């Protein structure tokens, strides 16, 4: 049976993560292989049916396209910038910067990991559990906790998401509606912009990882 198979490649310098789906969209197999011509072709030759391969544009894209083309039915090179620019207030410059800084969305398993890397995660700091009183070490009766953004992060990425949120908050569209609704609930403007920046980061991860277009329904998903 010459059943079509659809192969997605997440290409890195040393390895390639491979996902193979059948014509109904069901997962056939997942694998990680070396980024070597012989290994890649050996993997493909082990699959039957017509093979349709897709991967993102990157430094290896031209080499990989030329390698695969004689051995598969179709090779499709995707440009993630076309997808990211569908997100409101992310234009070609911000999209290009996101791609350069993040490289691949699959390095972040969850949106919280991206928030932390981008300096958008809230960190709670607690004062010392013990203190000196009259020269003696005593356990504190009440711990004082402060909250703030994590300091160890990628500052460029933080600037992109916060800048996008600032622009989106004054630009008519679904992001401004989301921001206005937060203000209506009594949230301070600074916290509302931070919450919007976190939403934009989470949506960026969804759009890029899944290869789907922007949908305002993503704003209704739980942010935390």
Show me where the domains of the chain are located.
5-78, 82-124+152-220
Q: Nearest 5°: CA angle at 48, between 45 and 104?
A: 65
Identify the pLDDT of residue 1.
52
Report the pLDDT value the prediction gives residue 138, as an integer from 0 to 100: 66
pLDDT of residue 60: 86
CB neighbours of 108 closer than 8 A, spacing ≥ 6?
102, 114, 117, 205
pLDDT at 22: 86
pLDDT score of 146: 43
Give the pLDDT confidence score for residue 137 in this predicted structure: 60
- Give the CATH architecture of domain 5-78: 2-Layer Sandwich (3.30)
pLDDT tens track, the chain, 224 positions: 568 899 999 888 899 999 998 888 788 999 999 999 999 999 999 999 999 998 887 788 889 999 999 999 999 888 888 889 999 999 999 999 998 888 778 788 899 999 999 999 876 555 555 555 555 666 666 544 445 566 678 999 999 999 999 999 999 999 999 999 999 999 999 999 999 999 999 999 999 888 788 999 999 876 43
């Amino acid at each position: 049976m010459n059943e079509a198979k659809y192969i997605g490649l997440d290409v890195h310098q040393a390895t390639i993560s491979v996902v193979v789906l059948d014509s109904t969209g069901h997962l056939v197999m997942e694998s990680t292989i070396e980024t070597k011509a012989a290994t890649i072709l050996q993997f493909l030759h082990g699959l039957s049916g017509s093979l349709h391969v897709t991967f993102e544009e990157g430094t290896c894209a031209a080499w990989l396209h030329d390698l695969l083309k004689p051995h598969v039915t179709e090779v499709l090179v995707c440009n993630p910038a076309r997808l990211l620019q569908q997100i409101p207030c992310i234009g070609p410059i911000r999209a290009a910067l996101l791609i350069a800084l993040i490289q691949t969305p699959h390095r972040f398993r969850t949106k919280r990991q991206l928030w932390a890397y981008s300096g958008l995660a809230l960190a709670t700091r607690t004062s010392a559990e013990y203190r000196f009183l009259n020269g003696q070490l005593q356990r504190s009766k009440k711990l004082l906790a402060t909250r703030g953004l994590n300091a160890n992060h990628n500052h460029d990425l933080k600037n992109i998401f916060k800048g996008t949120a600032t622009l989106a908050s004054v630009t008519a569209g679904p992001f401004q509606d989301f921001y206005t609704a937060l203000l209506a609930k009594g949230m301070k403007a600074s916290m509302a912009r931070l919450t919007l920046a976190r939403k934009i980061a989470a949506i960026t991860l969804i759009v890029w990882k899944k290869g789907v277009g922007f949908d305002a329904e993503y704003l209704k998903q739980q942010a935390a």
